[in-house]
Structure 1
Amino acid sequence: MAEPSVPVKKAARTFDLQAMMNQARLGAQERSNIDWTNEIEKTKEENELRITEMKIKADEASKKIQSSTNNNNINDGDDDDDFGPSIDLATAPTNDNEDTSSDDEDEDTSKPVEEDNDRLDDDEQPFFPLTHEIDLKHGTKSVSCLTIDSNGERLISGGFDYELKMWDFPTMDKTLKYYRAISPCESHQLRSIEFSPGSDMLLIASGSCQAKVISRDGKNMYECVRGDMYLIDMQKTKGHVSTLNRACWNPKDLNEFMTCSDDGTVRLWSLIRRTEHASCIKTKSEQGKKTSTTTCTYNTYHTHVTQNEYLITAGCDDGSIQIWDRRRPFVNVTFISRHAHEPENSITSLCWSYDGRNLASRSTDHTLKLWDIRNFKKSLSEYNDLHNRFSMTNVTFSPDDRFLITGTSTRKKTNENINDSTNVGAIYFFNRNNLAQPEGQIQVSDAASVVKTLWHPKLNQIMCTTSNGIIKIFYDTIRSKQGALLFANREERQKKANDFFINMNIINPHALPLYRQDRVRNLSVIRMKNREDPVCKSFFCFLQR
Structure 2
Amino acid sequence: MDEESFREFLPTSFGGGGADFDPAAQMESVRRKGAGLPEPKAAKSASSKHGGDSDEDDDSEDDSEDEDEYPVSHEIVFKTHDRPVTTITVDPAGSRMITGSTDCTIKLHDFATMTPNTLRAFKSVDPTATKSSANTETHPVHVAKFNPNSPGQVLVISATTQAKILSRDGETITEFVKGDMYLRDMNMTKGHVSEITSGTWHPRSYDHFVTAGTDSTLRIWDANMRMKQKDVIVHKSRAAGSAGRSRMTAVAWGSQVEGGNSLLVAAALDGSLLMWGGEGPYHRPSGEINQAHASNTWTSGLDISSDGRLVITRGGDDTIKLWDTRKFKQPVNTTSHTSTSSQYPTSNILFAPNSSSIITGSETGDLYILNPATLKPEVVTPVTPGSPLISVFWHDKLNQIITGSANAETHVLFNPKNSTKGAVMVMSKQPKRRHVDDDPSLTTDMSQGISADAIVVPGSGNATIQGSTYSSRHPTIGLTASGKSRDPRRPHIPASTPFSRNQPDEQHIKKSIPLSSMREEDPREALLKYADKAEKDPMFTKAWKATQPKTIYADLSDEEDDGPEKKKQRT
TM range (shorter): 0.5 to 0.7
Note closer, same or farther for the CA distance 1:498–1:154 as it changes in structure 2 (3 Å cut): closer
The 8 Å contact of residues 322 and 337 in structure 1, kept in 2 or not, is answered as: yes
CA distance in 2 between counterparts of 1:296 and 1:496 reads 48
Structure 2, unaligned runs of 5 or more? 1-21, 39-50, 130-137, 444-468, 475-571
Helix, strand or coil for the counterpart of 2:88?
Answer: strand
Quote the Cα distance in structure 1 between the aligned partners of 2:211 and 2:280: 19
By how many angstroms is 1:274 displaced?
A: 2.3
Match of 1:160 in 2: 102
1:270 shift after superposition: 0.8
Displacement of 1:371 in angstroms is 0.4
Letter in 2 for 1:84: V
- When residues 292 and 89 of structure 1 are mapped into structure 2, their CA distance, relative to the original with a 3 A threshold, is same
Matched, 1:181 2:124: yes
Find the residue that maps to 2:326 and give its secondary structure.
helix
Paired position in structure 1 for 2:141? 190
The alpha-carbon deviation at position 323 of structure 1 amounts to: 1.1
1:498 to 1:482, Cα distance in 2 relative to 1, 3 A = closer
Greater percentage in helix: 1
Aligned identity (percent) is 29
Q: Would you say 1:305 and 2:258 are equivalent positions?
A: yes
Flag the 1:199–1:115 CA change in 2: closer, same or farther, 3 A: farther
Of the three residues 459, 465, 471, the one matched with 2:410 is 471
Cα separation, 1, equivalents of 2:292 and 2:436: 65
CA-CA distance at 1:425 after TM superposition: 1.5
Q: Find the partner of 2:78 among 129, 136, 147.
A: 136
Pick from 390, 407, 410: which aligns with 1:451? 390
Summarize the Cα distance change of 1:149–1:212 in structure 2 as closer, same or farther, 3 Å threshold. Answer: same
Moved more, 369-378 or 318-327: 318-327
Q: How does 1:169-318 map to 2 (within 5 A)?
A: 169-174=111-116, 175-186=118-129, 187-197=138-148, 198-287=150-239, 289-300=244-255, 302=256, 304-305=257-258, 307=260, 309-318=261-270
Secondary structure of the structure 2 residue equivalent to 1:333: coil
Query: How far does residue 448 in structure 1 lie from its aligned partner after superposition?
Result: 0.8
Q: What is the SS of the residue equivalent to 2:383?
A: strand
Q: What amino acid maps onto 1:168 in structure 2?
A: D
Structure 1 position 112, deviation (Å)? 8.0
Task: Return the offset for 1:184.
Answer: 1.0
Taking the aligned partners of 2:353 and 2:263, their CA distance within structure 1 comes to: 22
Compute the displacement of 1:356 (Å): 1.2
Q: Closer, same or farther in 2 for the Cα pair 1:438/1:387, shift >3 Å?
A: same
Instruction: State the match for 2:274 in structure 1.
Output: 322
Show the counterpart of 1:51.
none
Matched letter for residue 461 of structure 1? Q
Q: Do the aligned partners of residues 202 and 333 (structure 1) sit closer, same or farther apart at CA in structure 2, a change above 3 Å counting?
A: same
In the TM superposition, residue 260 of structure 1 has moved relative to its aligned partner by 0.8
User: Residue 26 of structure 2 contacts residue 427 of structure 2 at CA under 8 Å; is this kept in 1?
Assistant: no
Q: 1:165 to 1:113 in 2, by over 3 A?
A: farther
Does 1:483 find its partner at 2:426?
no
Q: How many residues align?
A: 395
Tell me the distance in 1 between the aligned counterparts of 2:107 and 2:27.
28
Q: Please tell me whether the aligned partners of residues 297 and 314 of structure 1 are also in contact (alpha carbons under 8 angstroms).
A: yes
The partner residue of 1:341 within 281, 293, 299 is 293
Matching residue of 2:460: none
User: How far apart in 1 are the matches of 2:60 and 2:201?
Assistant: 39
Deviation at 1:503, TM superposition (A): 6.8
**Are the counterparts in 1 of residues 68 and 418 from structure 2 also a CA contact under 8 Å?**
no
Q: Which amino acid aligns with 1:152?
A: G
The aligned amino acid for 1:285 is S
Distance change >3 Å, CA 225–CA 140, structure 1 → 2? same
Q: CA deviation at 1:496?
A: 6.8
Q: Offset at 1:140? A: 2.7
Instruction: Report deviation, 1:460.
Output: 1.1
Counting only pairs closer than 5 Å after superposition, residues 505-524 of structure 1 correspond to structure 2 as none
Bigger RCO (CA 8 Å, 6+ sep):
1
SS in 2 for 1:375: coil
Question: Is the contact made by 2:76 and 2:411 (CA closer than 8 Å) also made in structure 1?
Answer: yes
Deviations 1:261-300 (A, max 9, x none): 1011100111222221111000121257011111111122
Shift of 1:179: 1.4
Match of 1:428 in 2: 368
Unpaired segments ≥5 residues, structure 1: 1-75, 93-106, 410-423, 507-545
RMSD: 3.2
Question: How far is the alpha carbon of 1:446 from its aligned partner?
Answer: 2.3
1:170 Cα deviation after fit: 0.8
Q: Which residue of 2 aligns with 1:534?
A: none
Name the amino acid aligned to 1:464. T
1:88–1:131 Cα contact (<8 Å) kept = no
Alpha carbons 1:191, 1:392 under 8 Å: kept: yes
Instruction: Give the superposition deviation at 1:368.
Output: 1.0
Q: Secondary structure of 1:194's match?
A: strand
1: CA distance between counterparts of 2:182 and 2:65? 63
Distance 1:498 1:355 in 2: 52
The structure-2 alpha-carbon separation of the partners of 1:476 and 1:88, relative to structure 1 and needing over 3 Å to count, comes to farther
Q: Which amino acid in 2 is paired with 1:394?
A: N
What is the rounded CA distance, in whole Å, between the counterparts of 2:71 and 2:57 in structure 1? 15
- Give the distance between the partners of 2:206 and 2:380, measured in 1 at CA: 36
Q: What code does the residue aligned with 2:258 have?
A: V
On the 8 A contact 1:89/1:130 being kept in 2, the answer is no
Name the SS for the 1:439 alignment partner: strand
**Equivalent-residue separation in structure 2 for 1:485 and 1:328 (angstroms):** 42
Partners of 2:37 and 2:73 within 8 A in 1: no
Letter in 2 for 1:361: T
1:146 corresponding residue in structure 2: 88
What letter is aligned with 1:454? F
* Structure 2 contact 300–345 (Cα < 8 Å) conserved: yes
Partner of 2:346: 392
CA deviation after TM superposition for structure 1 residue 467, in Å? 0.5
**Which residue is equivalent to 2:507?**
none
For the 8 Å contact 1:448–1:467, the answer to whether it is kept is yes
Q: Is the 8 A contact 1:204 1:213 kept in 2?
A: yes
How far residue 151 of structure 1 moved from its aligned partner, in angstroms, is: 1.1
Shift of 1:229: 0.5
The alpha carbon displacement at 1:113 in A equals 9.2
Whole-angstrom distance in 1 between the partners of 2:173 and 2:408: 28
1:90 to 2:33 alignment: no
TM-score (norm 2): 0.64
Contact 2:310 2:323 in 1 (8 A): yes
| Alpha-carbon distance in structure 2 between the residues aligned to 1:487 and 1:114 | 34
In the TM superposition, what is the alpha-carbon distance from 1:490 to its structure 2 partner?
2.5
One-letter amino acid of the counterpart of residue 98, structure 2: I
CA contact (8 A) 1:88 1:130 kept: no
Distance (Å, rounded) in 2 between the aligned partners of 1:137 and 1:91? 23
Give me the whole-angstrom Cα distance separating, in 1, the residues matched to 2:437 and 2:279.
66
1:325 deviates by 2.1
Aligned partners of 1:374 and 1:196: how far apart in 2?
28
**AA partner of residue 338 (structure 1):** N
> What amino acid sits opposite 2:308 in the alignment?
G
What amino acid maps onto 2:254 in structure 1?
Answer: N
- Which amino acid in structure 1 is aligned with residue 75 of structure 2? E
After superposition, give the CA deviation of every residue in 1:165-198 in whole Å (9 maximum; x if it has no partner).
0110011012211111111112010000000122
Q: Note the alpha carbon deviations across 1:193-252, whole angstroms, 9 max, x for none.
A: 000122111100000100000111111110110110111111101100111111211121
> 2:314 and 2:234 mapped to 1: Cα distance?
22
